[in-house]
Homo-oligomer: A and B are copies of this chain.
Amino acid sequence: MTNTFGTSFKVTTWGESHGKAIGAVIDGCPAGLPLKESDIQSDLDRRKPGQSTITTDRKESDRVEILSGVFEGKTTGTPISLMIMNEDSDPKSYDHLKDVFRPGHADMAYFVKYGHRDHRGGGRSSGRETAARVAAGAIAKKIIDADIKAYAVQIGSIVAKKRDLEEIENNPVRSPDKDAAKKMVAEIEAAKAESDSIGGIIEIIVSAMHAGTGDPIFGKLDSLLAAALMSIGGVKGVEIGSGFSCAEMKGSAHNDQMNKEGFTSNNAGGIAGGISTGQDLIIRIAVKPTSSIGKKQKMISISGEETIIGIEGRHDPCLVPRIVPVAEAMVALVLADRR
């Protein structure tokens, strides 16, 4: 029941994968911001399907339409209603999945919780819903000063060694390491050839951060970021700064000391006591391998029968490249909400 994110810059998303349309309503965007559809479209294009050989071949132009909240090219402070029509929905191809739960998917959980569900492509639980988040995030980015960059640092066994941010959009996996990127593509193609999928890790760096963002106790910036990023389907872990490596560290090594020039390290990941310190935010998220795979797997049907299914059709063999813009959007929504 919680399709709204944020408390001051509030985003409500709606829509199913194979319904008429998906969209978002943004409440709390300040008045006077120049805004046109093309401002939003560029981020949507980074998320849309069919960008390369390693993404699904569902064809969606993902054209966004602004229905309200903008007058004479500027926002008015009233709700901004965004709509994206579903053009290449293919509900028929899901008929055989109506009565069976796909492994790794939310199918069974939705069935248990709601009884009546739109099973077509996962309905509301589909990754398609994130297009609405990306659209809202594009507006959020316009009202914050900070600069957000997400990129793939690991796909399967391949780990990026460099952080060349100029390189990110030059390769289909969105890695900041040109050489690693090639190997990552190969890793994905190998998984795809086996009708399988592969996971990875995305890193997000936020530069030009103000100090003072985030609130004590339950409104901590790291807490908000963790919630935002963990709300993306397929994300199984979130870490800030040193993250899980802190377990083996001593306090004397982990503490970020200061001299007159500022901090001399950033194990905190830019956040102390839940409040930004002005250093870059450093966040990493773990992305599981795509649940939809062609390989045969054991599952049960709605009636409890054991069955073998392979999910034929249009899927991404690795979610990482398309989650990159979604992760950026979620971070942008957090920062826009807590300006």
A3 within 8 A of B: yes
**Chain B residues within an 8 Å CB radius of A81:** 14-15, 21, 23
A288 within 8 A of B: yes
Q: Which of A34-87 contact B (CB under 8 A)?
A: 67-69, 71-72, 74-81, 83
Q: Which of A179-211 contact B (CB under 8 A)?
A: 191, 194, 196-201, 211
**Chain B residues within an 8 Å CB radius of A5:** 218
Number of interface residues of A (CB under 8 A): 142
**CB<8 Å pairs between A and B, sample of 27:** A1-B27, A1-B216, A2-B217, A3-B27, A3-B216, A12-B12, A14-B27, A15-B81, A19-B67, A23-B67, A25-B25, A67-B83, A76-B114, A77-B117, A78-B124, A105-B272, A108-B258, A112-B212, A113-B212, A197-B250, A197-B251, A198-B249, A198-B251, A223-B226, A226-B227, A257-B299, A260-B306
Are A116 and B78 in contact (CB-based, < 8 A)?
no
Q: A3-B218, A197-B252 are in contact. List 5 more A-B contacts (CB 8 A).
A: A21-B67, A23-B67, A78-B123, A104-B255, A196-B250
Q: Which of A85-119 contact B (CB under 8 A)?
A: 101, 103-110, 112-118
**Chain B residues within an 8 Å CB radius of A112:** 211-212, 275, 277-278
**Chain B residues within an 8 Å CB radius of A25:** 3, 12, 14, 25
Are A219 and B79 in contact (CB-based, < 8 A)?
no
Q: Which of A212-258 contact B (CB under 8 A)?
A: 212, 215-220, 222-231, 233, 235-258
Are B113 and A15 in contact (CB-based, < 8 A)?
no
**Chain B residues within an 8 Å CB radius of A172:** none
A328 within 8 A of B: no
A300 within 8 A of B: yes
Cα of A115 to Cα of B75 in the assembled complex, Å: 10
Are A251 and B116 in contact (CB-based, < 8 A)?
no
Are A248 and B199 in contact (CB-based, < 8 A)?
yes
